[in-house]
Structure 1
Amino acid sequence: MNGLSSIELPLEETGLFSPIFIDFIKQRKWLDHFKLPKPNLQGLLQVAQDAEWEKIDRTILLNTLHAQYRELEESGSVIVGSVKDNLAALASPDSRTITTGQQLHPATGPLYVVFKILSTINLCKQLNAEQQSHRFIPVFWLASEDHDLQEIKELHLSGKSLTWQTEQAGPTGRMLCSGLPEMLDELKTALGTRPGFEKLLEDLRHAYKSHFSLSFATRKLIHEWFGQAGLLVLDPDAAELKRSFLPVMQRDAARQEAPQAAAKYEKELSTHGSLPLSVRSVNLFYLGEQFRLRIDAVPDGFRTSDHRFSWTSEQLGAEMEAFPQRFSPNVVLRPLYQQSILPNVAYIGGPSEVVYWLQLRGVFELHDIAFPVLLPRAQAVLVDNSMYEKFQRMGFSGNDWLEKPEELIARWMKMRGITTDAFDQARRLMVQGMDELTGFMEATDKTLGDAGRAEKMRLLQSIDKLEEKWKKSQKRSEDQSIQLIRKVRDRIFPNGTLQERHDNILGYIGTGALNHPIDLLDQMDPLKMVLRVIRT
């Protein structure tokens, strides 16, 4: 495991996840209504036997993948043997895929993107070691048609944020990488020279050339970093793949049944938490190089959300037949698109993704598309070895890593024998004495009661002030330990956000035992369903 070790925290004890997600990982009884395959090794192997996977047109899938890998090869990438082997294996009807997907964050974006990829590779390794009937192949699905540039343009590392300066619009995968080479220069300045970093930076520079599309650059980078483990990268923004999905897209627009189909399971979900998606009557976008426009149903047919394009029902059908690449499934149909073109046994996603796939159970049934095993990606935080050891020596462990700093500081002071007991006792004695004195004075002269009570409040305030001065004095003497507690919090929750949802992997490369993202592979077991605190 490349010198890496970790401790495991039960997800349900962290307080970081929604009730629905916790119910899912605990497989609560109410989920039986969804008739889901079980998220464990046995469930995966059972689903792998399903004859549904024979429906997949592997010829179209492989033609697309081979074309995309030829493009990589022509750009100088080496298609390693593990990728070639998995491409060959995918032609066999006995092969199955495990898939994860993500928007096109430059340099892979937040840590959880790397965690998703490694979780997928790790699970395939486990399944292939467990049996010989099926070959399990890890796939990374590019969400290349997503148009939300704001969600991907920032990169956070080592306390510094970098921003991709671009004014492009439309599907992010079709954007050019202009501006990203300059961001890589800033990245080099921010991180300097570290073991392993120079090679990763070289990979980044080869991938993010100004004239490359962001989709191509992302495929190239993910291949360079994870191809050695057999990961296949697929850009689904491909005409022939979309042509194979035409029946679903055409039915979605013509019949507008998705909201009713989703409602079959939404009521049950909504009693346990909020619904993440709004399922629309039409779940398609219209694509161009600089736009991705929602298609709405109107009385006389269809039109885009900005009113630039409109069609009758017949015209829309003809446009789909002639130009399938101009149509893009939204967040509702995208999972169905994935499951219709891949022999995909499982989808590995984040906590919110797991919930929104649950919401789509009825839409899958409507279109008679096989529903995969849902598995949450591995969850983790990375802590450098020195900080880890110091924190443990202070007597902290387990969920203490996630505690608020003020609570830990109070506990630390108590552990050190630094308590406020003396001040608490002083208050009790003073209140008791003043109450007795005030009672005595009031018994002889009722007008003196208020004066006694006012003096008691003044004395309480004086004790409070003395206590605060004493606390500051003690904290100064414990300043090093208190600063460590605050540093731990800032490391795990940078800017108040859980590390894996904020920081980029490059900020952790070369600072300890971690020299390449693949070094985390053995720590990324999605079947464990724990939060790992990993010593790097």
Structure 2
Amino acid sequence: MPTECIPYSETGYFSPLMCDYLAEKSTLTPFYNRFPKLENFEAQIQEKQQSSLTDVSQRTVLVKALQEQYSNVNASEATLENIQKLASENSFTITTGHQLNLFTGPLYFLYKIISTINLATTLKEKHPNYEFVPIYWMASEDHDFDEICYFNYKGKKVRWNREASGAVGELSTEGLQDVFEVFSKELGNSNNAKQLQSLFKEGYLKHDNLTAATRYIANELFKIYGLVIVDGNDKALKQLFIPFVENELFQQTAHKKVLETAHKLTEVNDSYKIQVNPREINLFYITEGIRERIIEKNGVFTVNNTSVRWNSEQIQQEVHEFPARFSPNALLRPLYQEIILPNLCYIGGGGELAYWLELKSYFEAVNVTFPMILLRNSVVVKTEKQSEKMVKLNITNRDLFLKRDAFVNKKVKELSDIEIDFTSQKEHLQQQFKDLYKIAEQTDQSFIGAVAAQEKKQLKGLQHLEKRLLKAQKRGLKDKVSRSTDLQEILFPGNSLQERRQNFSELYLEHGENLIPTLVEHLQPLSGEFLVLEL
């Protein structure tokens, strides 16, 4: 099973901020706690152990809440043991989070969770006196239904068409029977297809809401690895969040600190994009069918697009009586997660880590340990036949990462019988002009300018001819080049990463129950490289 690892910075698919973070550039050191290296976890463990947020009483609340969440789940012994382990002061979590995408959404859902599982395993080997529990935090409180209501299957969108409002986790699964019937026809009748059909049917047609359905599917895929799935939309867990909700409502510390940090990041490098802009209050109010922003003006708190209003005393009473109604936005969710869990490391994509880098000073201000943040594994999976075709077409794994125009240009130059690279002609021309400059220096300044203008004009002419020749060769070699671009399109659909476009079902249809164990075997979360894997 051949593999190749390519540094993220050489793929062309990661932002300057993420490449600089992975390179451990000193200018970014103030924005995180410890870089995720194996040797740095001991210090992170010690710091987390000393935090008041990981005391026995808080762990007891967490364990009890998880046991209730799993009361109707067919959990594995490994998962149930991991939940119980969280009661111990020597137990810690490795966490990832993801939206409740229909049928898991993009492939990287799997890679996030596998990275989490494998890091927990690696840490247990390194630190046998501690326990490490892999966590999938469900974004059950999100309300962006349009982002999660579909998945891609063989270039087609399988979509759940319905009206939706409020927290997506509370959405009824009614109507997914129609989606199931459409998807089933696309899958066919193989044994692997029947397993996928069963997973979808059991998940969505036998559970009442999207949270329960997503928990079922994630549990079925990963329960043998002891994965623990957390629903943060839980009254008992929200009780622990009350002091921080009050801080957000009355001190608005997040707005002040995150805005300050975001500006500092852009001062370090103006190519760093601000991932998330803080609001004055980064909380939503949740009731049935509603998840709307809380806004404060002149001491009066309102819920956007509703008639709900409180003064300061009334909203404080509401927080204490109904904490589950107060929902963190994308900026505050990391804090909520870190006060609930004895967490050491958060694993996420590049965009997620970018907004985590805006949060460290806020965590310090509210006295919460900032976790290590780790870029999840990225993978492109190809078949043996595709590898054989790549050899015939003289395509390397690194070639696949080229943007389409650059890839086409490279293949045209390789296939052309004509030398398209005019570098030697340009160098010869520049040498001739060096001689002309020597003559010009013996006359006046105006002649030097004339020589420089002529040099620029002729170099530009050569560049134009080179482009014209390349364009002509593209037309002539179109059929040959298309075999290469067709293969690249399969592995990098839409000139994007496979993991962002495809759903796991395409790979599962081919590899069945071997898919996840094979990925678990090969993904190395601390490697810092993009994996090309032949299955």
TM-aligned CA deviation for residue 230 of structure 1: 0.7
Matched, 1:172 2:168: yes
Matches within 5 A, 1:7-406: 7-34=4-31, 36-50=33-47, 51-53=49-51, 55-56=53-54, 57-72=58-73, 77=74, 79-209=75-205, 212-271=208-267, 272=269, 273-406=272-405
The structure that has the greater radius of gyration is 1
Deviations 1:245-298 (A, max 9, x none): 100001110112222222442232112212111111111110012010100011
TM-score, reference length from structure 2:
0.86
Gaps spanning 5+ residues in structure 1: where?
426-460
- The two structures, once aligned, show a CA RMSD in angstroms of 2.6
TM-aligned CA deviation for residue 424 of structure 1: 13
* CA–CA distance in structure 2, aligned partners of residues 93 and 467 of structure 1: 65
Partner of 1:516: 515
TM-aligned CA deviation for residue 516 of structure 1: 3.4
Decide whether aligned partners of structure 1 residues 471 and 100 sit closer, same or farther in structure 2, where only a CA change above 3 A counts: closer
Does structure 1 conserve the Cα–Cα contact (< 8 Å) formed by 2:380 and 2:498? Answer: yes
* CA–CA distance in structure 2, aligned partners of residues 469 and 86 of structure 1: 63
TM-aligned CA deviation for residue 329 of structure 1: 0.9
Partner of 2:440: none
Does structure 2 conserve the Cα–Cα contact (< 8 Å) formed by 1:284 and 1:330? Answer: yes
- Bigger Cα displacement from structure 2, 4-13 vs 510-519: 510-519
* CA–CA distance in structure 1, aligned partners of residues 467 and 348 of structure 2: 50
Partner SS, residue 357 of structure 2: helix
Partner SS, residue 96 of structure 2: strand
Partner SS, residue 509 of structure 1: helix
TM-aligned CA deviation for residue 464 of structure 1: 11
Does structure 2 conserve the Cα–Cα contact (< 8 Å) formed by 1:223 and 1:231? Answer: yes
Does structure 1 conserve the Cα–Cα contact (< 8 Å) formed by 2:413 and 2:420? Answer: no
* CA–CA distance in structure 2, aligned partners of residues 339 and 464 of structure 1: 54
Does structure 1 conserve the Cα–Cα contact (< 8 Å) formed by 2:301 and 2:315? Answer: yes
The one-letter code of the counterpart of 1:170 is: G
* CA–CA distance in structure 1, aligned partners of residues 339 and 423 of structure 2: 68
Deviations 1:391-415 (A, max 9, x none): 1333322420112344434433443
Does structure 2 conserve the Cα–Cα contact (< 8 Å) formed by 1:380 and 1:533? Answer: yes
- Bigger Cα displacement from structure 2, 127-136 vs 44-53: 44-53
Does structure 2 conserve the Cα–Cα contact (< 8 Å) formed by 1:197 and 1:515? Answer: no
* CA–CA distance in structure 2, aligned partners of residues 288 and 147 of structure 1: 12
The one-letter code of the counterpart of 1:61 is: L
* CA–CA distance in structure 2, aligned partners of residues 471 and 232 of structure 1: 53
The one-letter code of the counterpart of 1:344 is: N
The one-letter code of the counterpart of 1:498 is: L
TM-aligned CA deviation for residue 147 of structure 1: 0.1
* CA–CA distance in structure 2, aligned partners of residues 41 and 517 of structure 1: 24
Gaps spanning 5+ residues in structure 2: where?
425-463
TM-aligned CA deviation for residue 48 of structure 1: 1.4
State how many pairs are aligned.
489
Partner SS, residue 190 of structure 1: helix
TM-aligned CA deviation for residue 351 of structure 1: 0.4
Does structure 1 conserve the Cα–Cα contact (< 8 Å) formed by 2:400 and 2:492? Answer: no
Partner of 1:446: none
Decide whether aligned partners of structure 1 residues 197 and 518 sit closer, same or farther in structure 2, where only a CA change above 3 A counts: farther
Matches within 5 A, 1:448-467: none
Does structure 2 conserve the Cα–Cα contact (< 8 Å) formed by 1:383 and 1:491? Answer: no
Does structure 1 conserve the Cα–Cα contact (< 8 Å) formed by 2:259 and 2:277? Answer: no
Does structure 2 conserve the Cα–Cα contact (< 8 Å) formed by 1:194 and 1:509? Answer: no
Decide whether aligned partners of structure 1 residues 210 and 298 sit closer, same or farther in structure 2, where only a CA change above 3 A counts: farther
Identity of aligned residues (%): 31
- Bigger Cα displacement from structure 2, 7-16 vs 486-495: 486-495
